[in-house]
Each structure stands twice: as C-alpha cells, then as structure tokens.
Amino acid sequence: MDLTPRTDGAGVPVRRRRRWAPMVVVALALVAGGVVVTKFLTSAIDYYCNVDEIGVRDGCDGDRRIRVQGIVRKDTLEKKDGTTAFTLEWNGKSIDVSYLGDPGGVFQECIPVVAHGRLDGAGFDSDRIEVKHTNEYQEKNKSRFDEANEEAAACSVSEG
C-alpha cells in the first residue's frame, strides 16, 4: 500500500484552492446587517420631548439627539439659501428650528410637527421633519395627538 501524497505530476502535492468570493459576500452581508441594526437602534433611543420639556425633563437636554414635538408658529416660516427656519411652540414655550433643506409635503404653519436633531445653543438643528402622523400613531398616542390638534387649532385662530 502506497501512502505517499498524490501529486499533479510535478512532484508537488495538489492544494485545494480557497474560494474567496463566498467569504467576501458573507463578510459584506454581516457588515451591512450591523450598519442597519445600529441605525435602527440609535433612532429608537432618541428621546421624545415636547418643546416645553427641553431643559426640564431628564433626557431632553443638549448632550444627546432628541425628537421635539411642537406647532409651527404662525408667521415664522422662512426659506433661505436651502435652509428652512421656523419656530416650534408648545404650552407657551418656543424654540427656533433650523432645517437644512425643504421639509416638503404638507409642511406649513400652524400644524404639529416632530423635528429630529440636536440642540444648538438656544436653537435646534434638525435633520429630519415628520409632519403627518399615521392612524397607528393616533391610536397609540391619543392624548398627545389630541393635545397637538388643540394647540394647532389655537395657532390658526390666534393672530388671524
């Protein structure tokens, strides 16, 4: 019985070639999955604050990313050099918001919006604006939604 390794005829043992393409695809899928999970987790931990809770409620301060709900104050909406600036108010408190871009959609004065971003001194730098809440949001957050509608109704009636 011959126990010598097989050769390809040149006296060198035959080596299996590794297939790198499947390993690269798996590695890329893992990296992409990690990015997606990280993005969802960071979005899920953004604190949700009303304008009047900024600087008052725990988590609604300047050292983290937050979501701020308020009503767009009448006669404060300005669009200039690709930036949209407006004032959000809630329960008698207000904050100036700067948004790079045009919120589009049904964004206008005297409607409830949620701005995502960070506090910047006395203002708020937003990178995302939510204008319309879904029916699911209305069912889960009925008191917030009703309160927002009352504030919006007061805005459109006042100063009119």
pLDDT tens digits, 43-80? 556 678 999 998 888 888 877 888 999 999 999 999 99
Binned at pLDDT 50, 70 and 90, residue 160 comes out as very low
Q: Where are the alpha helices (DSSP H) in the chain?
A: 20-44, 135-140, 142-157
Give 76-113 pLDDT, tens digit per residue. Answer: 999 999 999 999 999 999 999 999 988 887 888 988 99
How much of the chain exceeds pLDDT 90, in percent? 36
CA dihedral in degrees (94, 54, 63, 116; nearest 10)? Answer: -60
What class has domain 47-157?
mainly beta
Burial track 1-23 (b if 16+ CB lie within 10 A, e otherwise): eeeeeeeeeeeeeeeeeeeeeee
Q: Is the pLDDT of residue 115 over 60?
A: yes
CB 160 within 8 A of CB 150: no
End-to-end CA, the chain: 103
SS3 146: helix
Q: Where are the domains of the chain?
A: 47-157
